[in-house]
Chain A
Amino acid sequence: MATLTVTKDKGGVSRPEGMTVIEPALVVPLTKLKAIGKQAGLDGVFVADLVSALAMHERHAARVAAAAAEQTARPKRRKVYEKLAQLHAERTGALESLLVKLKLPALYVSPASRAAGNMVGALAQAPLLAGSVDAEGRECMLLDVAFLLAEQSLANTEALTAVAAAATASTTRTTLVKTAKLLAANVALFEKVRALRKASIVQAARKK
């Protein structure tokens, strides 16, 4: 099962970069990260950090979608957001398993992963403008946030697929390909959100 909030208690580990201080016992050594790229002809540290960042995007997206479900006044929208939250959570789980298959801790938080989380955090602040927009505007913002997160998940899936394809034959490659396929098989909902956004804008634009 996916961990949506990573803490020390749950097994969060990381690696320091510049300003961060991490307990030595919780630092994932660079050699361990490099190792995953060796046979595959990839930069292991970059790939490990990327997978960690993809997982962090899904974690935050799952939570933001759940918040949107909580906040929307439209029952149909609520259902969509709930499904999105579930899909993002499943993808978190898949990416955590990928890290484990790559012989890394499931809750490895890379510097790139910190940035990915921060990016979603910034997006998630948009609906807090609720006091200065009307109810329609607020619904639009919630949908925009969910849509942008879905778009990024979609693009991340494509990027992971391409990275897997760029690897030379190895267990790392096989593992990457399997996870990329698993993720790509289940993106219909993300595409549906794009359509929903368009339809809802057109509807709001029509004269009442």
Chain B
Amino acid sequence: MPGRPTVVEHRHPYDEVRRHFETHTVDPLSRLHSMTILAAEQQTMNFYMNVGPTYVPPLARGLYLEIAEIEEQHVTQYESLLDPLDSWFERELLHHYNECYLYWSFMHDEVDPRIRKLWELHLAMEIEHVRVAGELLRRHQGTDPAELLPAKLPAPTRFQENKQYIRTVLAAEIDLTSVGLDFVPLTALPTDARYFKYQAAVNGGIEVPSEAVIDRHVEAFGDDFRLTTEGPHPIPALRSRPHADLEDAADEAEE
């Protein structure tokens, strides 16, 4: 199911930075989640940037590069949530602590004993990383790692269905963009806003790959590559082919 069209996502770098949490008051779980989403975006950015140039067709290369730029925006946005006050030694410790937290969460959720063992093995390795990073923190900064870390692990992260949540978010926020630090409705922007100038500079006067690839798909296969199992798209404007949505739902119901 499509989210915001890629073509409208490119925006001026000034509009990608957010306010950050305060390291002495931040909830441990908020800190961990910020680090996790940052790592996920970093991986995605690296994937598109590294894999894109391995394609020969210009459309594929262009598409990957276009998406890579969006992922760079995501990296910038989420990285800016972290308090710049944290020292390198603190970051190192918190990084491995977050890895522990994630592997421990996965271990809790996993029902297959073989896979569970894998998570457990990785958790054990990360516990050692925490110990080593803690020693560095103690030696070079004089900070007791136990003082910095939460007294116990926060509630585990779970893998669970989030389709309804995504639909709610899309319905409520699809019209938002950002100006400086804040999210604002796109309709609130003046016509000479930085956003439009950036869009014109980046996507103006060219065949934008993310649009071209969908056009090609529709030409070849008759639809635009979507799976909407929970009913039509919550945004009417994104139901580009209303019958296709309904057909998808009907197909799903039959299966």
Tell me the complex Cα distance, A18–B18, Å: 11
Decide yes or no: A20 and B22 within 8 Å by CB, A64-B141, A66-B142, A117-B85 being known contacts: yes
**Residues A14 and B139 in contact, CB atoms below 8 Å apart:** no
B140 is an interface residue with CB less than 8 A from chain A: yes
CB-defined contacts of B21 to chain A, threshold 8 Å: 20-22
**Residues B24 and A20 in contact, CB atoms below 8 Å apart:** no
Q: List 6 A-B contacts (CB under 8 A).
A: A8-B28, A18-B19, A21-B21, A22-B22, A22-B25, A114-B22
**Residues A23 and B27 in contact, CB atoms below 8 Å apart:** yes
Question: Which residues of chain A in 20-38 are interfacial with respect to chain B, using CB atoms and an 8 Å cutoff?
Answer: 20-23, 26
CB-defined contacts of B87 to chain A, threshold 8 Å: 121
Nearest first, the 7 A-B pairs at minimum CB distance are A63-B142, A67-B142, A66-B142, A12-B24, A5-B147, A6-B24, A109-B24
Tell me the complex Cα distance, A12–B26, Å: 9
**Residues B141 and A9 in contact, CB atoms below 8 Å apart:** no
Tell me the complex Cα distance, A120–B139, Å: 16
* Residue of B19, B25, B140 contacting most chain A CB atoms (<10 Å): B25
B150 is an interface residue with CB less than 8 A from chain A: yes
- Smallest CB-CB separation from B80: which chain A residue? A19
B194 is an interface residue with CB less than 8 A from chain A: no
Question: Of B141, B142, B148, B181, which contacts A7 at CB under 8 A?
Answer: B148
Tell me the complex Cα distance, A13–B26, Å: 9
B111 is an interface residue with CB less than 8 A from chain A: no
A47 is an interface residue with CB less than 8 A from chain B: no
Number of A-B contacts (CB under 8 A): 82
Interface size on A, as a range, is: 35 or more
Question: Of A19, A65, A107, which contacts B142 at CB under 8 A?
Answer: A65
Question: Which residues of chain A in 56-78 are interfacial with respect to chain B, using CB atoms and an 8 Å cutoff?
Answer: 62-68, 70-71
A170 is an interface residue with CB less than 8 A from chain B: no
CB-defined contacts of B150 to chain A, threshold 8 Å: 7, 9
Tell me the complex Cα distance, A124–B90, Å: 13
**Residues A85 and B22 in contact, CB atoms below 8 Å apart:** no
B20 is an interface residue with CB less than 8 A from chain A: yes
- Minimal beta-carbon separation of B154 from chain A (angstroms): 11
- Minimal beta-carbon separation of A88 from chain B (angstroms): 10
Tell me the complex Cα distance, A5–B141, Å: 11
